[in-house]
Chain A
Amino acid sequence: MATQVATSRRGGSRSSGIRSGERLAGWLFSLPVIIILGVFLFIPVVMAIWVSFSDWSGRGSPLSSGVNFIGLGNYSDVTGGGGLAEKNFGIAIRNNAWYVILVVPIQTVLSLFLAVLVNRAILRGRSLFRMAFYFPSVTSSVAITVLWLFLFSTTGVINKVLSWFGVNGPNWFNDPRGIVHVALGAMGVDAAPTALTSHGLLGIDWWEWLSGPSFAMSAFVLMAVFTTSGTFMLLFLAALQNINPELGEAASVDGANGWQRFWRITLPQLRPTLFTVLTLGLIGTWQVFDQIYTGTQGGPGKTTLTPAYLSYESAFINQQWGRGSAIAFILFLIIIVFTLFQRWVLRERKVSKRRSYNHQAKGKKS
């Protein structure tokens, strides 16, 4: 009786009965998605985790009785041990790190720039530009990769155009030299300082870490910027159109110039979108695979090898399934760590004490 009283006090027992029916309906409606996600996402992920800790050789089910738990063996193979597995993983991380370092900032700045550009009311043919900038994003990455291979071939269009300016273009997709090394070489630094060559990480020395992306990888960097800037431009554009124009007008009245209005008024309001764009950018760039698979398969000189491709190659080509999944989960951790770090950097900060004090002081004077 006591419970009945309690429920009736909160809003009636009849409505509680209706709610319980709703709960059932809710589960029923979400069941298809739960099953689909479970079968095609959650179970495979769990099985992959298991494979990364097992000696599964690729024959029969990984859950069958002949497969043994081998602890962190697959992980330690690629993160230590001094063998080829560690070196390949180090090279893949090196290549991908350079790719991320270049692609994420460039595509974010470029897409923001394009969004601001096509958001301006005075621009004629805005929708045409919006479509043109977005177009590369809807094209298949495989098709664009093939196009890129043609454009950047030794005798291709890019090198032809460069030759008009007297530049002898590099042998893009066949040149394994890192661009930082090439630039240093042009300045006369050919040999590595021994301080860099005598130490290293993941089987490759610091001089190799600092080599920069190869020309082949640089072409992929340009391609990623070309294809994804359009998508992120749309995100920024949507956010820009949500910003109340009165704020900008008020700032103009206060005497802020265009740059100040963008930097102090517009950009802070874009913070959530900026977070989305950076996160999607980080995830996409760390997982780069299609271009490598269709374009270079890791060559030239392993300079376009990435962890995602290395994982595929270890598993499907070399039958080292445990190592392949271990690489995939290390990659997953890297992405999580970067996302959390970036979330921390972009967190909402309180206005600093000094600033708010100054502000108050000014307010008192006037």
Chain B
Amino acid sequence: MTWNNSRGWLGAGSLVLASALILGGCSGSDAEPTASMAPTTGDAAVGDLTSSSDPLTLLIGSSGDAETAAVQAAVAAWSAESGVKADVQVASDLAQQLSQGFAAGSPPDLFYMSPDAIGGYAGNGSLKAYGDLLTNKADFYGPLVDNFTVDGDFYCAPKDFSTLALVINTDLWTAAGLTDADLPKTWDDLAAVSTKLTGEGHVGLAFGPEFQRIGVFFAEAGGGLVVDGAAAANSPENIEALTYVQTNLNAGNFAFSSDLGAGWGGEAFGKQLAAMVIEGNWITGALTNDFPDVNYLVAELPEGPGGQGTLQYTNCWGMAADSPNQTAALNLVEYLTAPEQQLAFSAAFGPMPSVSSAADAWTAANPKLAAFLAGAKYAQYLPSQVGSNEVVSDLNAQLESLKGGDPAAILGSVQSNLEAVIK
């Protein structure tokens, strides 16, 4: 984009200026009336669902063919039952396609919504807060409901969830002379067994260099980035947690998966570069597909000074405020989050049902993965305030050089960033 002659510059410049003035003028004069109108569309009041005979559109960010097929089958079954047409679209880049839909004023009716994006979309009024209208509201796990609650409004139904647990390579475990009685219960245990498990070609425990994994230690220490709605990144608990991780990283019994040459913990585990990893439910699918020969068990994470702790990951069925047929959409969400449907999804592509009434059936079907579901009771989640994912990615950038860093200084900078975000 370079203009070669000055007349081109001048002409383009004056056009730009003129257009900017016109546009600025438009918005300036119109600003007043809309300020009073905004709340009706912005604050999605509960109870006023739109209703029409319009077909529904669902936009999902699918993990693969299994998930796409399962969602399509479920939605088709609901369509046959309800008589409302519904179309499932698979996004190649969910965040971008959602943004385009909202900007164009024609968003999909239902879509996968992640907690780190919900603050922004709830803030600009794109989302319909329909959580309190769900007939099965009481069935959802409390921490999941909290995860999708913004400013006191429960926005959307969690569609499923995962937690982090300790995944252990049983062959390396027994080779190191360890038994079931040695499963780590405390941080000291974890340090001890990971030291024993560290050997030629593999380390004891690996995890990604990110708060999304290391955060479990914060939770176990009794800390967390946000405690009771206030920024608490540099609390003594968090400093203790980060110091514990740093000490063990420097001792060599812990390692970042990236330092082992793996893209994520699951890859480090599958390639047997690490005897244990901290990962979520999704690791089971990856191990079955890519590393079927690795034998493993899933254990709960050890207790820290603050008790048990882990992190949960979830998505919800976001509903567009501009959807013309929210009544049908709500009905579809209730159908998709019913226990039997969530169990079918779980069997097809992995994550755990978000409703407690499906817990027993799920544990019966997945006895080896019970530790993941046990985490639901004490799981924390990443802050979801607008701008907090920038804070977390800044923390992650600092965590990559944690080995030589100062935990208190790292968390101090996170605290000041977080305070700017959480008012």
Question: Which residues in A have some Cβ–Cβ distance to B below 8 Å?
Answer: 42, 45-47, 49-50, 53-54, 57-69, 83-85, 87-88, 153-155, 171, 174, 176-177, 279, 283, 298-302, 315-320, 332, 335-336, 339
Contact = CB atoms under 8 A, between A and B. Distances in A.
A316 B124 contact: no
B27 A319 contact: no
A298 B261 CA distance: 18
Contacts of B102: 58-60
B95 A317 contact: yes
A54 B394 CA distance: 26
Interface string B224-264: 00000000000000000000000000000000101111000
Given A63-B26, A65-B27, A300-B258, A316 B95 contact: yes
Contacts of B117: 317, 319
Nearest to A336: B2
Contacts of B209: 174, 300
Contact of A54 (B1, B27, B125): B27
B387 interface: yes
Leading 10 A-B pairs by shortest Cβ distance: A154-B261, A319-B120, A57-B124, A65-B30, A174-B258, A66-B34, A301-B397, A65-B34, A46-B19, A302-B397
Given A174-B258, A319-B124, A49 B103 contact: no
B144 to A, nearest CB: 23
B391 interface: yes
Contact of A65 (B31, B99, B390, B417): B31
A318 B397 contact: no
Interface in B1-44: 1-2, 15-16, 19-20, 23-24, 26-28, 30-31, 33-35, 37-38
B261 A155 contact: yes
A57 B123 contact: yes
Interface in B383-409: 386-387, 389-391, 393-394, 396-398, 400-401
Contact of B24 (A50, A83, A279, A320): A50
B105 interface: yes
Contact of B390 (A64, A88, A171): A88
Contacts of A68: 27, 31
Contacts of B2: 279, 283, 336, 339
B261 A153 contact: yes
10 contacts: A46-B15, A50-B19, A61-B103, A68-B31, A84-B417, A85-B390, A300-B258, A317-B95, A332-B1, A335-B1
Contacts of A57: 120, 123-125
A59 B386 contact: no
Name the prevailing secondary structure of the A interface residues.
loop
B420 interface: yes
B53 interface: no
Interface residues of B, number: 51
A60 B105 contact: yes
B394 A84 contact: yes
Contacts of B260: 154
A57 B209 CA distance: 32
A67 B16 CA distance: 19
A299 B393 CA distance: 9
A333 to B, nearest CB: 12
B400 A59 contact: no
B400 A300 contact: yes
B27 A67 contact: yes
B20 A50 contact: yes
B401 A315 contact: no
B23, B120, B401 interface centre (most CB from chain A within 10 Å):
B23
Given A61-B103, A63-B23, A316-B95, A69 B261 contact: no
Contacts of B16: 45-46, 49
Given A58-B102, A65-B27, 7 more contacts: A60-B105, A69-B24, A84-B420, A154-B260, A174-B256, A176-B401, A302-B397
Contact of B120 (A58, A176, A302): A58
Given A65-B33, A315-B99, A84 B398 contact: no
A54 B15 CA distance: 19
Given A49-B16, A58-B124, A84 B390 contact: yes
A63 B397 contact: no
Given A59-B125, A317-B95, A176 B400 contact: yes
A58 B19 contact: no
A57, A67, A171, A298 interface centre (most CB from chain B within 10 Å):
A57
Given A66-B34, A319-B386, A84 B96 contact: no
Contacts of A58: 99, 102-103, 120, 124, 126
B397 A61 contact: no
